[in-house]
Amino acid sequence: MIFLLQDQNLIFTGALILMFMIALLEGVMTLIGVGISDLLDNLLPDFDVDVPDTGLSGGMTKLLGWLRFGEVPALILLVTFLVSFGVTGLVAQMLIESLAGYLLPGGLLAVAVFFLALPQVRFVGNIMRRFAVGDESEAVERNSFIGRVAIITIGKAEIGSPAEARFSDEFGTTHYVMVEPDESEIFNQGDKVLLVEELGAHFRVTRPSSIHLMENN
């Protein structure tokens, strides 16, 4: 306990405490019929931010896609990050103290631990996306996304440079996907696109016709 409460370790201990608080709150809210996970998944997908088309926004979009954001419930990714960040930081401090005899400043070590935690979040995300989330009747395979009309939410979609797009399926579930034009076209934020082919982590898209727009309304 003394080790956990040392100043240099508070940032990592705090992450674990926050995780336990979220888990407790989720349990309590689930008992009354409202889960934090449902709230996050309902709020976050509908939260549009007018992000300028910059390299930073494109990098953030790719990072979120790499972490399986939009494919796995946001609460799972958040809890996984908190656990990974907290445990990795404390283990690192233990090793440093045993070898050097002192603890590193928490803020300094936190930068390295943050990047060490991200691959762990992706690992869990890859595992979780293999399982159907929610009722089986509402489980959606990625290949069923073909033919959907989505809206570019972040970035500019052009050949070799995917952007993020969003659409809702017949169950009302909102999905985020990375998209790239089918031909030599460029789609900007707010443009509607038609998903025509799955290409691994992203989808090939083209400009939807009026018929596709009517079918997806």
Beta-strand runs (E) in the chain = 149-154, 163-168, 174-181, 192-199, 202-206
pLDDT of residue 138: 39
Asked whether 176 and 140 are in contact (CB, 8 A), the reply is no
Asked whether 122 and 25 are in contact (CB, 8 A), the reply is no
User: Residues in the chain with pLDDT < 50?
Assistant: 43-54, 132-139
Cβ atoms within 10 A of the Cβ of 185, count? Answer: 15
Closest Cα to residue 83, out of 128, 16, 36?
16
CA 20 vs. chain centroid, Å, equals 20
pLDDT of residue 48: 41
pTM for this predicted structure? 0.56
Is the Cα torsion angle 93, 95, 100, 101 positive or negative in sign?
positive
pLDDT of residue 132: 42
pLDDT of residue 202: 81
Q: What angle do CA 72, 90, 94 make, to 5 degrees?
A: 145
Closest Cα to residue 103, out of 9, 166, 12?
9
SS3 201: coil
